[in-house]
Structure 1
C-alpha cells in the first residue's frame, strides 16, 4: 500500500495510536483468574465450601470459555441453578481486579515520546472495562477511551461507530491512525477498511487464537508484543 510521506506519520512523534485493552495491554487471563478468586471467596463465605476458584482456573486452562461456573459447581458436587450462577457472574464482573500491565506495555508507556496522541476502544460490559482501566492506571495514561458497551452491545467491534468517533475526536485523517489489538476475528476489518494502519499483538498467552476469517480481517503486521511497535510502524509506513 503506497501512501504519501505526509500520510505516513504515525510512528515517531506524530499521529494517533489507538489500543484495544484485553490481551493487548495486559493478559485477559489475569483478569479471569482474579475474577475466579473473587467469586470463589464470595461463595466460600456464603456456603463454607472452598475450591471453586481452583476448579474454574483448571477449566480455563483446559480451554473452556463458557459455563465455567456451572461446570466448576458440578465438580464440587453442588446443584447448579441459574440464580446462583448469575450471582457468581455478577461478582466476577463487578470485582476490583488484581491485574497489571504487561511488562512491554509498561515499558511503552514509560518510554513513549511526547506528541503522540493515545486512545482506546474496548468492548465488554462498561463497568467491568472501566474497573480494568482504573486498576491498570490507563485512565491517567490514555487521552481518550471509548467503551463501546455504553452505546449497547450492538456497537461492539467491528461496528464502525467507535472508529468514526476516534476520527472525529482526533481530527486526524485515517491514514495517520493506527489500531493495535489482538483479535483478528473482529478488531482489524473495520479500521483497515477505513484506511487506518492495523497491528496485531499476538501474545503467547492470549485468549483469542482464532485466525482471520478472510483477507480483509487481517492486520497489516503481527508483533509478539509492544516492544517492537515503533519499529514495526516505521517499517510498515516506509513501504
Structure 2
C-alpha cells in the first residue's frame, strides 16, 4: 500500500475511472443503429470494435463501412461522429474507484480530461461524477490546442488549490501525454496499467514517464 501525502489528488477520466473501450463499444452500437437501413448494425459495431482492438483510431468508421459495403456517397461522416460523441453511453466506474474516492474524501479531488467537453461531461454525468470534484477541467472547453501535454490545466488547478507543487498528484493512464506537464511542475505522477486499457505505448522520453505505476487504485491510501 502506497501512502499519498498529496493534499490535491487529480485524476484523468478515460481508462482511469472507467474503461474507455466500454464507451467505444457503446458508441459503435449507437452509430450502427443509425445505419440500420444500410447494413447489419451489430456487425458494423463488431467490426469497429475489432479495429479498435488492433490499434486503429481515426479511420475506424471508414474502414468498417468499407467492410460492410457502404458506398462513399452514402456516408455522412460528420453525422456519424456526432452520434458517437453525443450518445448516452453504457459505461460504469471501475470497481476500485468508489473506495478510492471515499478514502480520499478529506483531500481536494480534481479532474483533468481531454476530448470534446460535451462528450466528457456526459460521461461524468452517466458515471455519477458530475458534482464529485473540487476542481474539474475538461480541456475541450477551451478554444485552441490546450489538451495534454499542454500545462494550462495543471497550472490552473494548482492555482485554484493554493497548494505547493509537491502537494499535488496526477493519476492517469497514457504515458505519451499525461505526465509531461505535471512532471515538469514538480507533481507526483502515477500511471494506471488497467487491464483492457486502450493506450499502451511507452513514454516517448524520460520526461514523459510517470514516477510510479500501479494496476489499480486499491494500492493507494492517504498518509
Q: Which residue of 1 aligns with 2:87?
A: 95
Q: TM-score, normalising length from structure 2?
A: 0.92
Q: How does 1:46-61 map to 2 (within 5 A)?
A: 46-47=37-38, 49-50=40-41, 51-61=43-53
Q: How many residues align?
A: 220
Which one of 112, 124, 134 corresponds to residue 133 of structure 1?
124
Residue deviations 1:81-134 (CA, integer Å, cap 9, x gap): 48522211110011111100011113212x314421100000001111111111
**RMSD (Å) for aligned C-alpha atoms:** 1.8
Q: Deviations over 1:199-225 (max 9, x none)?
A: 001112111111111111111100001
Q: Which structure's residues are more often helix, by fraction? A: 1
Match of 1:85 in 2: 77
Structure 2: distance between partners of 1:188 and 1:87: 34
1:36 aligns with 2:28: yes
- TM-score, with normalisation over the residues of structure 1? 0.86
Which runs of 5 or more structure 2 residues have no equivalent in the other structure? none
Choose from 51, 54, 60 the match for 1:68. 60
Deviates more, 1:48-57 or 1:35-44: 48-57
8 Å Cα contact 1:223-1:229 kept in structure 2: no
Identify unmatched segments of 5+ residues in structure 1.
Answer: 1-9, 235-239
- Greater Rg, structure 1 or structure 2? 1
Residue 181 of structure 1: aligned partner: 172
User: In the alignment, is the contact (CA less than 8 A) between 2:30 and 2:84 conserved in 1?
Assistant: yes
Cα distance in 2 for partners of 1:48, 1:114 equals 48
Contact in 2 for aligned 1:37/1:53 (Cα 8 Å): yes
> 1:11 pairs with 4, 28, 48, which one?
4
